[in-house]
Structure 1
Amino acid sequence: MAGDAPICGQRIDRFLWFARLAKSRSIAQALCEQGHIRLDGRRIERAHTLVRPGNVLSLMAHGRVRALRIEALPARRGPASEAVTLYRELTLATPAETDD
């Protein structure tokens, strides 16, 4: 049956909060619903969208765009040292770097 397969994903709002990318879960929900988050290049407008390891998140944080690859799904909101192990920062080339 289709209901027998376990869902190996986590709501994006919970991931953002657990990974300390949002100060609260309600802020994470608002970011999603306002369309400020992209998942694998697709605009997210619902906080219940599932994320999985290997997905790429793009979001605006501290005045710059961040691109992150999800490495693991957290079970809790732990300390910051634990949160940074959940994702890997992907570097983006700036216009000055590409004008060779």
Structure 2
Amino acid sequence: MAETSDSVQSPAKLRLDKWLWHARFFKTRGLSAKQVSGGHVRVNANKTLKPAHSVTAGDVLTFPQNDQIRVIKIVALGSRRGPAPEAQALYEDLTPPREPRAPEPARTGPRPTKKDRRDITAFKDSLEDER
């Protein structure tokens, strides 16, 4: 039996900005569209500037979020922007784990008082006057 074009289904697709919003990477769809149109999102290592770019399951997205670069593999396309556990089921996080930051060195001695700060400012001003 020969297959007709009706029985062959194309893979499901969704707009990139809408998927990013469904997966809760951005708070609003407008923010996700701005990231895409700003050239900050790559789909399968190719930069895209169109928020309407179609994505399917299996695509890999690379984009900045906060102070890190996220690498995400799309597992499923969402039909709505649901709760966080539902959104987390839409992707697999391929982002390498972050290296722990070194703690800041502890302060030695007490904080300067207001008088100390005035003296420091006066000292700096006197150095500038000498130049």
Aligned partner of 1:44 among 43, 48, 60: 48
Using CA pairs below 8 Å that are at least 6 residues apart, which structure has the higher relative contact order? Answer: 1
Q: 1:14 to 1:5 in 2, by over 3 A?
A: same
Q: Which residue of 1 aligns with 2:74?
A: 70
Supply the distance in 1 between the matched residues of 2:69 and 2:59 (Cα, whole angstroms): 16
| Pairwise CA RMSD | 2.1
Alignment length (residue pairs): 94
Supply the distance in 1 between the matched residues of 2:34 and 2:95 (Cα, whole angstroms): 26
Listed as ranges, the matches of 1:1-100 within 5 Å are 6=10, 8-92=12-96
Superposed displacement of residue 60, structure 1: 0.5
Runs of 4+ in structure 1 displaced over 6 angstroms?
A: none
Matched AA of 2:56: R
Matched AA of 2:25: L
Q: Which residue of 2 aligns with 1:98?
A: none
**TM-score, structure 2 normalization:** 0.65
Are 2:12 and 2:56, in contact at CA under 8 Å, matched by a contact in 1? yes
Deviations 1:38-87 (A, max 9, x none): 00000010000000000000010120001000000000000011100000
Gaps of 5+ in 2: 99-131
**TM-score, structure 1 normalization:** 0.85
